[in-house]
Amino acid sequence: MKFFIDTADLEQIKEANDLGILDGVTTNPSLMAKVGVKGHEAVIQHYKTICDIVDGDISAEVVSTDFKGIVEEGKKLAALHKNIVVKVPMIKDGVKAIKWFTDNGIRTNCTLVFSAGQAILAAKAGAAYVSPFIGRIDDSGWEGINLISQIAEIYAVQGFETEILAASIRSSNHIIQCAEAGADVVTSPLEPILGLLKHPLTDIGLAKFLEDAKKFA
């Protein structure tokens, strides 16, 4: 399973990258706004900086919602760096645009996916990644992880090559559940990734080893 970090915060991206286990980055307009990136040029420069930090797939989201606009915007984003993956919303013109990008050698991440039917359409259009938002499903009182299992089963049965990129991660446990359910990629904020490191018995065990090491130092 691949690990992406879900943020536009450069310090957090560097910290996750320094761990040595990072395979990519996902961003969205809300994450860009959260770190105060404003204006077209600043956004473009921010994507370039992220591409310089991480050697892996970097999702850059379009904000157009019509076919022509999505294609024009996506072409410009894809031209920024070979690792840019154009992130396209799951809407009718988005599906059409994903098919156009597929036919023209541009990789896409179909975002805002909340059902198996949407995931089937994304795969049929040739998306490199499909992004089911499991945290937002949980927030609505449903079990987001069930969607990951369902899509994994459908893609396996049908032989779809689109990778399942589990998004909207809220906890370390979400990451573990996604791994069990067959996600190809999990994109997570830094905190749940770092949370995977923690176990009280590790801390207790290390303290004892260090204490005993003093006896033969």
Q: What is the dihedral of CA 188, 191, 196, 198, to 10 degrees?
A: 180
Of 68, 61, 30, the C-alpha closest to 47 is 61
- Smaller CB separation from ligand E4P, 121 or 131: 131
Site string for ligand E4P, 66-105 (x = CB under 6 A): ----------------------------------------
Determine the distance from the C-alpha atom of residue 71 to the mean position of all C-alpha atoms in its chain, rounded to a whole number: 21
Q: Which of 87, 92, 124, 198 is catalytic?
A: 87
Binding-residue total with ligand E4P (CB under 6 A): 11
- Smaller CB separation from ligand E4P, 96 or 136: 136
Which residues partner with 188 through β-bridges?
Answer: 5
User: Does residue number 111 form part of the binding site for ligand E4P (CB under 6 A)?
Assistant: yes
User: Does residue number 136 form part of the binding site for ligand E4P (CB under 6 A)?
Assistant: yes
115 Cβ contact list (under 8 Å, min separation 6) = 147
Determine the distance from the C-alpha atom of residue 141 to the mean position of all C-alpha atoms in its chain, rounded to a whole number: 22
- Smaller CB separation from ligand E4P, 108 or 214: 108
168 Cβ contact list (under 8 Å, min separation 6) = 133, 134, 135, 136, 137, 144
- Whole-number minimum distance, CB 109 to ligand E4P, in Å? 7
Catalytically annotated residues: 87
- Rule CB under 6 A: which residues touch ligand E4P? 6, 26, 28, 111, 131, 133, 135-136, 167-168, 187
